């Protein structure tokens, strides 16, 4: 029962990550944070092309997925990318990448037999 719950938790986390990354604006914000480092909501609004409430909503979803961290300084909130938050997706892709690689190799081997 415990293993099943752990598996469900990992699956739910991956789902949240994929959902967070499914939006182009969120990906752009995350990529900007990775490149430029910690940024205020104000700075992110200036470069994002969307309103401050939308930037805050996107950041909230990225934070919920564990992809960014936030810290308050006075009236401003600063966000930082949390690269380790991508680990569940990277692990999932590694498993399926290896599986597909094996299958493609098997297909190539079948084609060589002709």
Q: What 8-state DSSP symbol labels residue 44? A: H
Q: What is the pLDDT of residue 113?
A: 59
Domain 2-112 carries which CATH code?
1.10.10.10
For residue 31, count other CB atoms closer than 10 A to its CB. Answer: 11
Q: What is the pLDDT of residue 2?
A: 54
Q: What is the pLDDT of residue 114?
A: 57
**Residue 33 in contact with residue 22, Cβ under 8 Å?**
no
pTM above 0.85, yes or no: no
Nearest to 26 by CA among 71, 79, 91, 92: 79
Q: Which DSSP string corresponds to 48-71? A: HSS-HHHHHHHHHHHHHTTSEEEE
DSSP H stretches of helix in the chain:
2-21, 24-36, 41-48, 52-64, 87-112
Q: What is the pLDDT of residue 61?
A: 94
Sequential pLDDT tens for the chain (114 residues) = 555 566 677 778 888 898 999 999 999 999 999 999 999 999 999 999 999 999 999 999 999 999 999 999 999 999 999 988 887 788 878 877 777 877 777 777 776 755
């Amino acid at each position: 029962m415990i293993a099943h719950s752990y598996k469900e938790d990992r699956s739910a986390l991956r789902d949240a990550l994929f959902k967070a990354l499914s939006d182009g604006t969120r990906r752009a914000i995350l990529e900007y944070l990775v490149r430029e480092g910690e940024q205020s909501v104000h700075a992110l609004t200036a470069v994002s092309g969307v309103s401050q409430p939308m930037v805050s909503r996107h950041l909230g979803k990225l934070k919920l997925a564990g992809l960014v961290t936030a810290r308050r300084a006075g009236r401003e909130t600063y966000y930082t990318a949390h690269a380790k938050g991508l680990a569940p997706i990277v692990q999932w892709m590694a498993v399926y990448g290896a599986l597909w690689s094996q299958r493609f190799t098997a297909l190539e081997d079948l084609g060589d037999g002709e």
